Structures are given as C-alpha cells and as structure tokens.
Amino acid sequence: MKKIELLAPAGDLERLKIAVLYGADAVYLGGKKFSLRSRASNFELADIAEGVRFAKEHGANVHVTVNMLPHEDDLDGLCEYLKELESIGVTAVICASPHIAMTAKKVAPKLEVHISTQHSSTNSAAVSFWNEKGMDRVVLARECTLEDIRRTSMKSELPLEVFIHGGMCISYSGRCVLSNHMTARDANRGGCAQSCRWKYRLYDKETQLHDEHDLFSMSSKDLMAARYIPDLIEMGIASLKIEGRMKSSYYIATLVKTYRMLIDEVYETGRLSDKRMEWYCNELSKAENRPTGVGFYEGQPLPQAHLYGVNGAGVTQEYIAYVLDYDESEQMATLEVRNHFCGHIAAEVFGPHIAMREFQLEDLYDLDGNILEVANKPMQIIKTHVSVPMEKDAMIRKVMKKDRSMIY
C-alpha cells in the first residue's frame, strides 16, 4: 500500500520551503490568477517554477489551486495559464469549477485534476461521477463524518483527500455569501472578508440577546483530527490536508513536523497509546491561536463543541528565533530574531531533522561579540551557545505554561 500523503499549505515561497523541509510530501499554493485566498501572498509563475524545482529536489510535489468559481469575465487566459503550470512541472491543479477541471484535462493532460472540497463531495456516487469525467482525485467535503469517509472509501474508484487540520468555514464546504453581502467581496472569487469571524451584538427587535463580555461569532473552531489518522490510514485515504495558506512559517513548521512524526509512528507501530496521542495533540496545540475541535468527524457537532467562544486558545509557545547556522564544534548557533526575548530563559527547539527538545538559553551576543540584555529587533542576527542538538532551519520557541484542558 502506498504511504499516505501529507499535504501542506504554502502562502509564499518561504513557507513552501519550510513545509517541504519539515516533512510535507506535497504542498498546495495559489497563483495570482484563478485562486481563492486573494489576501495570501500567492505566487507569480516564476515563483511557482522555483517552488516546483525546490520541491522536486526534496522528493515532494506541488499542487496549485485553480479553485475560484469564475464569472464570464474571469475566464480570459485560463488555457494559457494551465499550459504554463503543466510546462513548469506542477503535479496537480485543484478545481471547483467543472469548466476549469474539464479544460485542464483537455489543454494540459499531464496535470492531475483534483476536485476541490468546495464541490461538496460527500458520498461514493459523487466520486464515481468525477471518475467518469476523468478526474484524478476528490477532496471530500469537510462536513463528512469519519463513517461517511469510511463508507465512501470502500466504494471509491479514485484516491480521496481529507482535511485534518485548520480553519473551518461556517458555510457548507466553504461556499459562503456572507462576505458578498456584508462587504461586496466575493468569497468564491478569492475575496473572502471572513465576516463569520467578526464579533456581533444580537437583538430581537429592541431586546438585547448578547453578552457584552462574550459577543456572538458565527466562526467555528479550527479542525484538529490527529486522533483519527490511524483510521484514515487503515481506510486507504490518499492524502491528509492541512489548511492554512495565510498562516505563518512557524505555524506550518509546527504542524508539518508533528503530523510527519505522527504518521511515521503509526506506520511503524500501528495504533498509538492514548498517552502518546495526547503528546502529539499537545505538540499541535503549540501552533494554535484559535480553539480546536474535531469538526464533523464524530457527527453533527453541537454549538459548544463547534462554535468559537469567548475563550480563545492562545499559544503555549512563542516563536522567537530562526536558526540560520550552527557550528557543532563550537556549539554556537546563529539566530535570526523573530520575537522579543532575553537570555537565560526556558526554550524549545525543533527542526527538519531534530525532534522537539527543551533547553535553557544562555547569553546572547551581537555579531561583534557584545552581550545583549535583550533581543528585540525583528530580523536581527545574533549568536548564542547551545547545549542541545541544533541544525540550520530549526526554530526556537519560548516556553510559556498554559492550561490546555478546554482546547481539545
């Protein structure tokens, strides 16, 4: 059986490289055309080509989202764009529009075509339909339960992809009109204003229904389905997808590293103990800035389990430095500052080839060898001695203790 794919988001070239270095089998990104998430940095064709080269060098693939629902005047240049993606070595395009999907098959036959979650495929009959149309993979709707996924996979004639982590849309499979109505920004053409995440005061005529200390939000908790990965592997699911093209490099590195380790351990040992799975869930929580839940995996979620409440998740660790270089003989690390920190604090390091490990930061030095009381300039280059394994492209985070009992 082919090993399940770990598919990570990339909002720009830096995040693509981080995702690949930290263990993603494939990354998905959006170009400047025909893509949702218009507020993400997104890629020029030259950047996509560089990303493809980098990914291929590390044994990974690149998928490009061509997932807008186009109006008549959005179609200009589509064929040329698809041909260019094919020519630079993109593996697959992710499509929501039947016209774009069929056009890709016609004009760029070397591209795989993956049907987007926005098409709300929730059963094996839908998968069979897309198989008859010559498509190569279906991304199941996020409204599918674990049992829906199981039953669909048993009858599926195509590889299936499912979401395991990230933001959930309040509307069915992401086909939202709130943004259109409230801001005239079309969510299905790349302009979502995320109106569901705003805080609202509710009234029934003149009667106040809201609590001023807990304003209403339609936004759902982020998905975190780590506990179901052994089941998804047993089902023969082709790909596990992380949402988050607008998320930071640190967020992506934390999730990809942790899911990479979890998937590999499942293949090596089978089912994990509750204690071991709890460890992985705790590691994933270090990237969060929103509460998480299991989405629809256990069925229709109740409001308390699904809706974003007053108690935000926060983070248990704060990303403070990126490792530019490490001299093993001198045990000296060269760091790029990302957030304010001092020496002699509890920190944790993790990297592409090293697991998470706590250590104590020592004195900090500028490039002239002067001791720094504090590193507080973004992108400042500093040095410090470290006593634990370190490597280039690793990340260091400050350890902050926080109760996670209400988060997952």
Predicted local confidence at residue 407, as pLDDT: 41
Predicted local confidence at residue 172, as pLDDT: 62
Q: What is the CATH number of the domain that holds 354?
A: 2.40.30.10
Asked which of 306, 334, 357 is the last residue of a domain, the reply is 306
pTM reported for the whole predicted model: 0.89
Please provide residue 222's backbone torsions phi and psi, each rounded to the nearest 5 degrees.
Answer: -70, 150
Q: Is 349 among the domain residues?
A: yes
Predicted local confidence at residue 174, as pLDDT: 63
Asked which of 287, 306, 325 is the last residue of a domain, the reply is 306
Answer left, alpha or beta for residue 205, where phi above 0 means left and psi between -120 and 50 means alpha: left
Predicted local confidence at residue 387, as pLDDT: 86
Q: What is the pLDDT of residues 10-63, one digit of tens each?
A: 999 999 999 999 999 999 999 988 776 555 557 899 999 999 999 999 999 999
In the numeric block, the tokens 């839908």 are attached to: 126
Q: Are residues 327 and 370 in the same domain?
A: yes
Q: Are residues 321 and 302 in the same domain?
A: no
DSSP letters, 266-331, are: HHHHSSPPHHHHHHHHHHHHTT-SS-EE-TTTTSSPPHHHHB--SS----SEEEEEEEEEEETTTT
Residue numbers in the chain where pLDDT is lower than 50: 310-314, 403-408
Predicted local confidence at residue 308, as pLDDT: 60
Q: Are residues 230 and 92 in the same domain?
A: yes
Predicted local confidence at residue 405, as pLDDT: 41
Q: Are residues 104 and 44 in the same domain?
A: yes
Predicted local confidence at residue 221, as pLDDT: 82
Number of structural domains the chain divides into: 2
| Boundaries of domain holding 367 | 317-399
Q: Are residues 15 and 102 in the same domain?
A: yes
Q: What is the pLDDT of residues 275-324, one digit of tens each?
A: 999 999 999 999 877 788 888 899 887 766 666 654 444 455 689 999 99
Predicted local confidence at residue 301, as pLDDT: 77
